[in-house]
Structure 1
């Protein structure tokens, strides 16, 4: 299927220029118009008539692109989005990428066809350049994640500080060998959580051991696998900090399968404070993110942009909070190794 971006690439223009040619709205030079029309003819591009209709008046629809709707964290964010959208007379279309970069790009291309008034991007796998380009073409807000060095409106927590405080809490409990189960290394949000973990160790004069940083992919299964790799080490840590609650629950399952007790043999700290964190045994210590508030503020910011209102702030950092429960405690006397 030929996309508007294919036409833009062949004509060496922006998708916004192709859109102006198709809608016959806005100025386009005759030379550029002819280049675009020729590219359309060569490629056999057929404009989306539904999109054309939407261009002429607001669709009162926004698209939320999320990485995984099965993750309870994003389910709560979506509830916040939908609540505010409904109050203001808008509908929310959900685009679930399944953590796929290609799907994320396909959904962004769909938005370029202007089937929605704007987009909330709650996943950050594409490049800064791609985000900036999309932000120039239509209203865009990044929620939960963020990009370095670009001016796209964003709402999130401070992941460096949150991860540093979680790790520092474990250090204050007396742990000196602390493992980290991280998310994907190539995600900005996750790199910040790793940075916070490193800072806490360094500030406390503790060495950062790269072998104790194990990569996961936010899922329970990846947490189990990462914890299994940690348990295969000659010297065990006395605590593990997982960069998501689902990975933390996976770590709990792996520890239980090995006959180890939490927190007696090893403390476990999570991140997000999803509902599951209070359902496991022991209940999970974690970093609470204001999930619904993230969604509510992101949609308010987006709709204000759509409606031509000026944003008071474009980069918003919401507060987080440590939730201390039964999965963390001071380390036991050294019988299980690792202090």
Structure 2
């Protein structure tokens, strides 16, 4: 649906060009929710503005729906932007217009719709975002979450193929954030709209996205399915973001090397395995004791997961590890001699992962 090939972007600086993005390659599939995450200043907002050409790349190519659009101008550019809706961090609503007239505004700009047709489309959109009873209010009368729902309805007015959400929940409280993310998932399911979600919060990615790209200093340093990136972060920038999402500051990733013994493993349980007593059963079968050094449980979208750093001791540690793997548990050795490990290339950004064999 959206493809960026070797995208670079520089801005004029006092002492010469300043690079914001450096040779970005991304492919976003039709109908998925794709997250782009990074710390402040990483380049993620610049990247999303290149998709609808609010910013033009210094180098590289932009493709939308299989068509090269990098040099789009005039009516072609207007058509492109109508096919790509945008939801902003601070809502960008017109204060003098009512909720209904804010949603109607992009329809009016096209000149393609009559008054009755606009009224009908606006009513449907407000019903979809749960604001029908607020149609005649002004933005100043709304809560932050309601304002963002108006922004989403407005972005959907021209029936876009792609919806860009630039920090769409960062100005909202946690409960409202959850409601807005639920709405975006519902829109994705019901309308099949491809959603590109820009955020600096890993928890937003975990709850919402199918795949994610991590941006650091203008480059993609890690990308892949959210389950892989969240549960097995490789790059230091990703590790920082995962730690920030943890209530205790990310103890799972923060365990020091001195705490890792020769039989310390990271166990990852996903899907139904997250609710099964696999570890206890395997420990009993192999006469092995275990101590949980750190852990976390939760959901990635609707799928449950559990992940623990565990120190093993007892009769048959190798048998326990084999039993865990045979039961569908992902096992990664955290310490011990190199002979017990096999290095495999990460499918994301060429990082190296060490897995028990």
Pair in the same fold by TM > 0.5: no
- TM-score norm. by structure 2 comes to 0.29
- TM-score norm. by structure 1 comes to 0.30
**Greater helix share, 1 or 2?**
1
**Greater strand share, 1 or 2?**
2
